[in-house]
Amino acid sequence: MAATVKASQTGLVTIDQARRKKDWAKAEPAWYGLATTTKSTLKRFWRGMAIQQDTFAAICEAVGIEDWQSIADFSSTTAESDTQIEAGFLPSTYAQSTWVERSEVTATLLDKLRSPCRLLVLNGMTGIGKTALAERLLVEMQETEEPSAVRSPQKRFCRLNLEDGSIAADFSFSGAALLRSLGEEPTLEDQKDPKNLLHHILQKLRTQPYQVQIDSLERLLEGNDQEGWSEFCDPLWLDLWQQLLAGGECQSQVIVTTQDVPGQLEAIGSRYPRLWHCEPIRGLTEPEQMELFRKTGLVAIDCDASDVIPSLDAVAIDGDVPNVTPFPDSVAIDGDASNATPFPNVVGAHCDAPSATPSLDDPNPGLDGQNSALGVQQYVSTGGHSALGVQQYAPTGGRSIFAGRDGDYLRRIGKLYAGHPLVLRVIAEDIKRTGGNIERYWRQGGFAEQEAHRPAKFSRRRLQLEVKQRVSEALARLPEDALQLLCCASVYRRPVPASFWFALRPERNEAQQQATLNLLQARSFAEEDWEAESWYGADADIPLRQHNLIRSVTYERLKADPVTWQMAERQAAERWLTAYEPDPDAPGLEKLRGYLEALHHYCELEDWDKASQIYTYQIPSTNQALHWQLLIWGYYKELVAVSSKLADKITSQTKRLCLNQIGNAYYSLGNVKQSIEYYQQALNFTRQTGDRQGEGNALGNLGNAYRSLGNYRQAIDFHQQHLTITREIGDRGGEGNALGGLGNAYDSLGNYPQAIDYYQQWLTIAREIGDRQGEGKALGGLGNAYDSLGNYPQAIDFHQQNLTIAREIGDRQGEGRALGNLGIAYYRLGNYPQAIDYYQQHLTIAQEIADRLGEGTALVNWGYTLIKLEQYSDSLEQLQSSLEIFREIGDRTNESEALLRLAELHQKTGKLDRALEYCDRALQMAMELGIPLVKECEELKQQLEEDGNDR
């Protein structure tokens, strides 16, 4: 058991000063590298959470603080296992220093989570504190886990945040996002069939211990913020919850936050009262509201100062303060910075003007004729009397500091907004910014009129509108620079570093920008997002976000100024394109995030030309266009979504690319008939616009699709049309591809000499124009044809050349095909172990790149070879798997071969009836396709009939 310790609040101030001297970000790679720890652990340190003692010391020493004990808070030191610490949950919103405990509801929900509850739903309006409460529960679950001799596996925490709206409600998108949050990429089967994806998620949740938090589930429901929500857009989400509750053993728990609960989900949940619980989250109680005001640093001015004493984090009003240290993120604006110690979130209370330093956001400090220092950042003299109020106060006796007239106003405000924590926090900060006079704020804020016109009963909808209105009014009182920065930053739908915010106001210098951001953070309008995977960029700064309630107001204000809005969207797009550097270990989709987000911004502007440019942008790291990279990496659903958005809006030649890529995506998913629909749309568009090269490409795609369906004559016709066009316009690359398509079609028909002729022409052109990938494919085609003719040494030579080229250019799919073809050649030579080795290499690559056709081909070849080695049970497994794949992707040619190999397997094991059944199905399919396999099927059927007669 390793001792653990967490940082104290004053210790974090010291640490912050030290890291600033080194010009380090809060999650600087050099920092956690020197401390030999992880980024996640450094984030836990900053959150004031317990980490291993030796790691804590290393973090302090790395930033130049040898006396790590002076940084630590030993009052909460515990001993926990290394596994528990490393697996610990890192909150993104909840922070103990600002949290107002909802004791009763917290206790109820903890009891539920400690029981067999699988699905806990927290239902309440936006800003009511659902996410923070969910995280509070998870922190408590982690911290109070009782040690035992046999500890159950530590649950891995995963979060899916739907609030930014970037994840479509369709289960194929949102379900895939959930699976990725569980640490696993969707398979090709998952992308093809969302039901398979559902089963994949269920299997993970049932067999592995996860604690999953899904925020803003309402984004998956029909409806909107204005009119409310109803049922799931995609019923598969309802199926997921029903099967999660109805199934057997489940090791995971899911906590969902939502603004509404579908009636169907409640009906299902009610059948499983031990496994399901839905808790309506309402506003804070009156005592909780007063605690919130206290924690924001709000002081009731009509309270006798003798009745209060500073709390732990407080500064005496008129006393010597030689030990005060600066809080982080502070900037001296006026006066001598050497004599000022910044202190956030404090309020002047009848102070003498000469002792006060003006705040950032109030150029005329004063309160009812008295001079005082106001605002978010204030300064106290380190050598004299304080000019400022305190951050927090605690009563000396039984009387509350809010017991007087001011307290009454605050309680009435709390009642008006039903204890809504976010708006009460906004109001508290607004009171402080406008001088701290609660009575004056009440009068000028129109609360009395609001109270007078409030009906005895009012709807949640009305409350939500009033909350939004009050937030809007508070925003309007921000300094212009702060309001502009906040509104401009609302264009970002994902958390981003501060530098991304600053880029939207380039006319402001860095010090001004940072001071403005400090103000916004101090007033809770900008929040650091500590979620471990909220940012995949190399930038080490903790990303920033706006609460969705705040963002809904700021984005609405921004769009009211079209010029500023358009400029912000364009600057945001440019920032994503130029400043986003993906982490080397980021998932593939996150490596493309900068381009996808930039494309989103241009789509918001309906600047389809710019969006088209990004769609076709050549990515430097891969030398592939964005749309091709999505296809190559297997992000087919994402490719369809992006391509469809553009195809519906543009009339340029990029429309043809979009339609073809939608077709390619469906082709890769095995939906060949749907791919043909889009290839045909692309063909029609190119003919309407006179795009001859595009017309040829569409014809070639149609030829490939029809060949996959076994319609070789139709395929040849399309490839011939393609070839004619390429020769007419002098498109040498397209001519080579058309020749290759013809070679493949004739190879499938068994006309190998004709196929060889086309492959040779393709090879010549590819070498002339330096098309290395085309050269490799042509060599592979020649190898297959010579293999079919029985010239195995020649076939091996061609395949080896193909393999060399594929590896040189990084063509993983081509490498896999070459390995598989070498396996076939060695099989023909009777070298079965060597053949199997090549098949296994082919299978590995195919599975890595989600090449389902390649995977099926490797399996059928491997299974057939195992028959020769009399390893029948293993052979059955491989052949059955290949048959399932070929049926899934609609490849009838290879399906017929898998059926024939299964017939031969059952013949070898003496199951003649079963063998004859497989053989008849293979023969019928081969005859329908008109392929050479017919002869093999007829020969096997004759043998089976003869064997049956001999019994």
* Mean residue pLDDT across the chain: 83
Q: What is the pLDDT of residue 74?
A: 77
Cβ pair 907, 932 in contact under 8 A: no
The neighbour count for residue 939, using CB atoms within 10 Å, is 11
Q: Which has more pLDDT, 532 or 762?
A: 762
pLDDT in tens, 183-222: 888 887 788 889 999 999 999 999 999 999 999 999 999 9
Residue 277's DSSP bridge partners are 120
Say if residue 401's pLDDT is above 70. no
The lowest-confidence range among 52-56, 356-360, 536-540 is: 356-360
Three-state SS annotation for 679-713: HHHHHHHHHHHCCHHHHHHHHHHHHHHHHHCCCHH
Three-state SS annotation for 411-444: HHHHHHCCCCHHHHHHHHHHHHHCCCCHHHHHHH
Max mean pLDDT among 408-412, 507-511, 617-621 falls in: 408-412
Q: What is the pLDDT of residue 153?
A: 58
Q: What is the pLDDT of residue 583?
A: 81
Q: What is the pLDDT of residue 349?
A: 32
- If you search the block for the tokens 């297997």, which residue do you land on? 634
* Rg of the chain over all Cα atoms, to the nearest angstrom: 34
Stretch 271-291: mean pLDDT, rounded?
94
Say if residue 86's pLDDT is above 70. no
Stretch 6-20: mean pLDDT, rounded?
82
Residue 123's DSSP bridge partners are 258, 280
CA angle (310 as vertex; 48, 292 as ends), nearest 5: 60
Of 644, 645, 638, the closest CA to residue 606 belongs to: 645
SS3 850: coil
Q: What is the pLDDT of residue 353?
A: 33
Say if residue 126's pLDDT is above 60. yes
**Distance from C-alpha of 130 to C-alpha of 137, rounded to nearest angstrom:** 11
Say if residue 26's pLDDT is above 90. no
Q: What is the pLDDT of residue 40?
A: 74
Say if residue 157's pLDDT is above 80. yes
Q: What is the pLDDT of residue 89?
A: 61
Going by DSSP bridges, is the β-strand pair 2-7/210-215 parallel, antiparallel, or unpaired? unpaired
**Distance from C-alpha of 269 to C-alpha of 303, rounded to nearest angstrom:** 50
Say if residue 854's pLDDT is above 70. yes
Cβ pair 176, 197 in contact under 8 A: yes
Strands (E), 504-606: 527-528, 544-545
Query: HSE on the CB side for 157, CA within 13 Å?
Result: 22
395: left (phi over 0), alpha (psi -120 to 50) or beta: beta
Strand order in the sheet with 276-280: 156-161, 210-215, 253-258, 119-123, 276-280
Give the CA distances from residue 236 to residues 181, 221, 240, 270, in Å, rounded to whole numbers and listed in that order. Answer: 18, 12, 6, 19
CA dihedral 883, 886, 888, 890 (to 10 degrees): -140
Stretch 677-693: mean pLDDT, rounded?
96
Say if residue 386's pLDDT is above 50. no
Strands (E), 195-301: 210-215, 221-224, 228-232, 253-258, 276-280
Say if residue 504's pLDDT is above 90. yes
- If you search the block for the tokens 């006026």, which residue do you land on? 334
pLDDT level of residue 229 (50, 70, 90 thresholds): confident
Q: What is the pLDDT of residue 809?
A: 85
Residue 157's DSSP bridge partners are 211
Say if residue 307's pLDDT is above 70. no
Say if residue 937's pLDDT is above 90. yes
**Distance from C-alpha of 780 to C-alpha of 803, rounded to nearest angstrom:** 9
Structural element, H or E, at residue 121: strand 119-123
**Distance from C-alpha of 460 to C-alpha of 462, rounded to nearest angstrom:** 5
Q: What is the pLDDT of residue 810?
A: 81
Cβ pair 639, 625 in contact under 8 A: no
Tokens (6 digits) for 727: 């020769």
Q: Which residues contact 175 (CB under 8 A, 6 or more apart)?
A: 194, 197, 198, 201, 236, 237, 240
CA dihedral 47, 425, 357, 486 (to 10 degrees): 80
pLDDT in tens, 560-603: 999 999 999 999 999 999 999 988 878 888 999 999 999 999 99
Cβ pair 390, 310 in contact under 8 A: yes
pLDDT in tens, 878-927: 999 999 988 877 778 899 999 999 999 999 999 999 999 999 999 999 88
Q: What is the pLDDT of residue 402?
A: 67
Q: Which has more pLDDT, 362 or 771?
A: 771
The neighbour count for residue 328, using CB atoms within 10 Å, is 16
The lowest-confidence range among 8-12, 74-78, 409-413, 878-882 is: 74-78
Tokens (6 digits) for 850: 């989600």
Which amino acid, 665? A
Could you tell me what percentage of the chain is helix, strand and coil, using 3-state DSSP and rounding each to the nearest 5?
A: 60, 10, 30
Q: What is the pLDDT of residue 183?
A: 87
Q: Which has more pLDDT, 930 or 375?
A: 930
Structural element, H or E, at residue 309: strand 308-310
Say if residue 239's pLDDT is above 80. yes
Q: What is the pLDDT of residue 273?
A: 93
Of 575, 592, 578, 595, the closest CA to residue 496 belongs to: 575
pLDDT in tens, 419-460: 999 999 999 999 988 888 999 999 999 999 999 988 877 788
Instruction: Give the global pTM.
Output: 0.73
Sign of CA dihedral 122, 123, 124, 126: positive
Q: What percentage of residues in the chain have a pLDDT greater than 90?
A: 60
Start-end of H helices in 829-891 = 832-848, 852-868, 872-889
Say if residue 943's pLDDT is above 70. yes
Cβ pair 777, 740 in contact under 8 A: yes
Of 109, 100, 65, 368, the closest CA to residue 255 belongs to: 109
